Structure 1
Amino acid sequence: MTVERPKVGVGIVVERPDGRILLGRRVKPTEPETWCLPGGHLEPGETIEDAAHRECLEESGIGDSTGAAAFAVVVDAGSAQGGVVFGVHARSTGIPTGPGEPHIFPEWVWADPADLPRPLFAASDALLRAWTGATPDPAWQVHRITAG
């Protein structure tokens, strides 16, 4: 039996000057509909920040994010698949130009972090809890990244 190693993912909290953050409505035929940060898998040779920028551009069309910095790593300790996801924060004044993957993300919105649409994709929820300082979901280990 071959056991697949967990993939390394990245999610980006893109924040506008008014404090709203970018979320996409995620629809996949085999999964429940959720709301999700832009993100995906780290490609060979990419930095975490480069992967976050690339995924944001590919999925939402926003390519002007600045000041990208990793803030946390979350580990899915509650499922058989596992997973490691780096959280990156950046700022943008951009407008989503439309879904780059309309079959997965038919809609992008700027949401108030205090009033997020639900349900959230599990990895996005874990990253947003880490970003806001909320109590982590017990199924996720949270490792904060500090500058320095």
Structure 2
Amino acid sequence: MDPAGRVLLFRFVAADRPPFWATPGGAVDPGESYEDAARRELIEETGIHADPGPELFRRVVEFVTLEGVPVLADERYFLIRTDADGIDTSRHTELERRVMQHWQWFDRDAIAAHHELIYPEDLAEILSGLNGAES
């Protein structure tokens, strides 16, 4: 989240589903804590070096990855505040370069009004409950 209360989202475009937006993140490596994974994924996907704040929520969801692998994911969402306004995508994998070509900072109202699907689907509601999230 930036100082204006906006959240960074990436737009995913894949051949097998409509485009969607999602927060930075990814898998937990063996032996890695959720906090360490959040820190590592943030650096890899955005170039932003910041420590995870509080875990905002957790959910267990089933979905099929962009590689076609069905997963049961234990998702953890952390609040990470940053002063960054740009990001560095030079550490993206080949898959990320192919499917995550656009990113944007969204405020709560833009999320609620957006015409494409955003994950987590209740992100606008979650932001409503955060201090400093109002723009």
TM-score, normalisation: structure 1: 0.65
Aligned to 1:114, the other structure's residue is in SS state helix
Deviation at 1:32, TM superposition (A): 1.9
Highest relative contact order (Cα 8 Å, sep 6+), 1 or 2?
2
57 and 28 in structure 1: CA distance in 2 versus 1, 3 angstrom threshold: farther
Once residues 8 and 61 of structure 2 are traced to their aligned partners in structure 1, the CA distance between those partners, rounded to angstroms, is: 23
The equivalent residue for 2:49 is 64
d(CA) in 2 for partners of 1:88, 1:130: 15
Question: Structure 1 residues 16-25 or 92-101, which shifts more?
Answer: 92-101
- 2: CA distance, partners of 1:113 / 1:66: 23
Identity among equivalent positions (%) equals 27
Cα-to-partner distance string for 1:65-106 (whole Å, 9 max, x where unaligned): 345221211122799854321111110112212362321210
Matches of 2:82 and 2:51, distance apart in 1: 6
Unaligned stretches of 5+ in structure 2?
A: 65-69, 130-135
Partner of 2:67: none
**Which residue of structure 2 lines up, in the alignment, with residue 6 of structure 1?**
none
Tell me if the contact between 2:57 and 2:77 (Cα under 8 Å) persists in the aligned partners.
yes
Question: CA deviation digits over 1:2-47, x for unaligned, max 9?
Answer: xxxxxxxxxxxxx001111100111122232101100111111112
SS, match of residue 54 in structure 1: helix
Aligned pair in 2 of structure 1 residues 120, 52: CA closer, same or farther (>3 Å)? farther
Structure 1 Cα separation of the partners of residues 31 and 63 of structure 2:
29
CA RMSD in angstroms comes to 2.7
Count of residues in Structure 1 that have an aligned counterpart in Structure 2: 117
Q: Structure 1 residue 105 and structure 2 residue 100: aligned?
A: yes
CA distance in 1, matches of 2:40, 2:115: 25
Q: Does 1:115 align with 2:114?
A: no
Task: Classify the secondary structure of the residue corresponding to 1:35.
Answer: strand
Runs of 4+ off more than 4 Å: 77-81
Q: TM-score, normalised by structure 2?
A: 0.71
Contact 1:59 1:105 in 2 (8 A): no
